[in-house]
Amino acid sequence: MRFWIVGGGTGGHVYPALAVAQALREIAPEAVLTWIGTRDGMEGDLVSRAGIPFVGIPGGGLHGVALLNAVRNGWDLARATFIARGHLRRERPDAVLTTGGYVSGPVTVAARWQQVPMMVFVPDIEPAQSIKATARFASRVAVTVEDSLAYFTGGKAVVTGYPLGERITRWTREEGREALGIEPSARVLLVFGGSRGARSINRAVMANVEALVQTAHVVHVSGRLDWPEAEVALQSLPQDVLTRYHVYPYLHDEMGAALAAADLVVSRAGAGVLGEFPYFGLPAILVPYPHAWRYQKVNAEWLASRGAALVLEDGALAAELVPAVRSLWADDARRAAMAEAARALGRPSAARDVAGLLVQLGKSATPG
Q: Which helix (H) or strand (E) holds 339?
A: helix 332-344
| 322-328 average pLDDT score | 97
Q: Which of 136, 130, 91, 132 is nearest to 114 (CA)?
A: 91
Alpha helices, H only, the chain: 11-27, 43-49, 67-91, 104-114, 129-135, 166-169, 173-180, 199-207, 209-215, 227-235, 255-261, 273-280, 295-305, 317-329, 332-344, 350-365
Would you state the pLDDT for residue 269? 94
**pLDDT exceeds cutoff 50 at 335:** yes
Would you state the pLDDT for residue 70? 47
Asked if residues 15 and 276 have their Cβ atoms less than 8 Å apart, the reply is no
pLDDT tens track for 289-300:
988 778 899 999
Cα separation of 25 and 18, whole Å? 11
More confident residue, 296 or 153: 296
Phi, psi of 109 (to 5 degrees): -65, -45
Cα separation of 329 and 215, whole Å? 8
Q: Give the number of other CB atoms < 10 A from CB of residue 334.
A: 14
More confident residue, 12 or 247: 247
Asked if residues 34 and 55 have their Cβ atoms less than 8 Å apart, the reply is yes
More confident residue, 284 or 203: 284
Would you state the pLDDT for residue 368? 47
| 183-210 average pLDDT score | 87
Query: Residue length, the chain?
Result: 368
Phi, psi of 33 (to 5 degrees): -110, 140
pLDDT tens track for 70-119:
456 555 667 777 777 877 888 899 999 999 877 888 888 888 888 999 99
State the average pLDDT for the chain.
88
Would you state the pLDDT for residue 69? 54
More confident residue, 205 or 88: 205
Cα separation of 100 and 119, whole Å? 11
What are the structural domains of the chain? 2-164+348-365 (3.40.50.2000), 169-344 (3.40.50.2000)
pLDDT tens track for 26-79:
999 999 999 988 877 778 888 888 899 998 876 555 445 455 554 565 556 677
pLDDT tens track for 341-351:
999 999 999 99
Question: Of all residues in the chain, what percent carry a pLDDT higher than 70?
Answer: 92
Would you state the pLDDT for residue 225? 78
Q: Which of 3-17, 108-122, 227-241, 298-312 has the highest mean pLDDT?
A: 298-312
The dihedral through the CA atoms of 215, 220, 222, 228 has a sign that is: positive
More confident residue, 173 or 105: 173
Asked if residues 102 and 9 have their Cβ atoms less than 8 Å apart, the reply is yes
